[in-house]
Amino acid sequence: MGQYHIVVNLDKGQMIKGDGPKLWEHLANDTGKALVVLLASASNGDGAGDLTETDSSVIGLWRGDRIAFVGDYDDNTSYNTPFGKMSGAQIYDSDQLTDISGAVSEVVEAELGKFDKRPAGMQLLTDFA
């Protein structure tokens, strides 16, 4: 079966989850693109290569925050969260987190759709939902 993971913002109580892919699947799908959007330090759309969907509130939303990949088998690690101390497994199973995958996917799609450079078969975070 294997361990499934979500990406969690430990400071804001948010996640990008989809269907909680295995760690390798995060590497193979759009998780990296999502993290570029969430961790961007500055992108006002004025420079070549900047993200131009600047009306999105998710660009740079996680900049400077504590981020972790947590797994559904992770009972040995304790994290401080807005909801108290929790193990990775407790975070994974928590219904207190806000899933922002859809909002992030909209920015990724808008940015990549302008150039139509999405490789065939590439999955969006929302494809796992």
pLDDT at residue 129 tops 50: no
Reference 33, options 116, 115, 114, 106; nearest CA is 106
Residues 23-43 have pLDDT tens digits of 888 888 888 889 999 998 765
State how many domains the chain has: 1
Quote the mean pLDDT of the chain: 82
Specify the 3-state DSSP secondary structure of 8.
strand
Domain ranges, residue 74? 5-128
